[in-house]
Structure 1
Amino acid sequence: MASVLVVALAVGATRTREPDTLQDRVTAIAKTVKCPTCRGESVADSNAPISKEIRRDIAARLEQGQSPGEIRAAYVTQWGDEILLTPSGRGVSGLVWAIPVVAVVLAGAGLVVVFRRWRSSSPPQVSEDDRKLVEQALSARAGPEEQP
């Protein structure tokens, strides 16, 4: 679990670099904004006229010096939180981020408890009657030619 966390942090740390060109930056922001007229498509993927206009607007805002966060905030002000494809970490939307983490932690804890119970349980005790039954079954199975 710790190694998965370390790898995820390493990938996240290397992917925070800003895209190089204006077009790359526009595309990066447009991938996080939902097309207002399409179903489930980002502004980057949509060819709807409104998406093309939003991409031009993003480019203009970037050239004016606005940050990606300011641009997304402007669209949230205009269309509401539903315009963003990536849910915010606040309020009920925060559950989208928290529930999978809690589920993984609970599943791991459950596995630890189960494995500890299996390890600590003692093997069943064999009584003398059980031994006699096994010997009788083996002798009956062996047949008359193998008996002494």
Structure 2
Amino acid sequence: MKRMIALLLGCWVLAAGAVIETYEFSSPELEARYHALSQELRCPKCQNQNIADSNAPIAQDLRKQLYQQLESGATDAEILDYMVARYGEFVRYRPEMGGATLILWLAPVLLLAVGIVVALAVLRSRRDADSRALTEEEQRKLQEMLEREQDA
């Protein structure tokens, strides 16, 4: 009885962790394109996995759609355009540069430039403060304060 439970539990664990879908492709080129595109498309539910690695039901649906579109003769660009139109630019791991994603592509460069400008401004203000000489009035007041401190 214990062996049977262990065997059933082992089979259940193996089945739960596997993403196995077998599609019969009409050519090896289509299969290669399928694998490349499934690596490029992000799972909308998991968000940190591509559809090839995800067990989510929506990833299974996307893999099926991908297979059907490839077999119907769609190009890679047509498939990606369809997926982006349906799920948004987020579905691609490498979104195209342009439109709303332009901000995402340029933000690191802009933040670096702002950081450099701020650092230079802070360094310049410190240098100017250090090199500024005291006026005669400021020197006299400083001397008076030092004398009062010594007398106290």
TM-score w.r.t. the length of structure 2 is 0.48
TM-score w.r.t. the length of structure 1 is 0.49
